[in-house]
Amino acid sequence: MARSDFIADGLTVIRNGIQRGKKVVEIDKSNLLKEIIQIFKQEGFIKDFREIKDNKSGKLRVYLRYDSNGDNFISGIKRISKPGLRVYKNSSEIPKVLNGLGTCVLTTSKGVLSGEKARSMGIGGEVVCYIW
């Protein structure tokens, strides 16, 4: 059976990797998921990521971030907009995740942006996920 939601699958792999204490996880690549992971890196939730070539669409190798005590930097990830129920917000309605401790990721007319950047640019879009 074909998968229909690569974003939810990728976020689940990251969430499960953190719960298991893994340093590296691999997820199937899609262009949108690559941009979401890039925002996670910019916001400091992950160390880094790399594109891995294979005979199919490719993979993203995500290096999870832990502090010196072994505590992870990601407490939770939640998928908001789903294929069956899209969630759109204008710039004044973009949510603050945990009063600014987390971030939301939006797809906008200017590309994939963090909630803070979209709010400062004055544009809204589809709320893809929250990370904190």
pLDDT number for residue 1: 46
Q: For the residues 76-104, what does the mean pLDDT come to? A: 95
Cα separation values, 40 from 44, 62, 110, 115, 126, Å: 6, 10, 18, 12, 17
pLDDT number for residue 70: 87
Distance between CA 5 and CA 3 in Å, rounded?
Answer: 6
Q: For the residues 16-31, what does the mean pLDDT come to? A: 96
Q: Tens digits of per-residue pLDDT, 37-78?
A: 999 999 999 999 999 998 888 999 999 999 999 899 999 999
Contact of 115 with 95, CB cutoff 8 Å: yes
Other Cβ atoms less than 10 A from the Cβ of 24: the count is 13
Domain boundaries, the chain: 6-64, 77-131
Which CATH number is 77-131 given? 3.30.1490.10
Query: Which class in CATH covers the domain with range 6-64?
Result: alpha beta
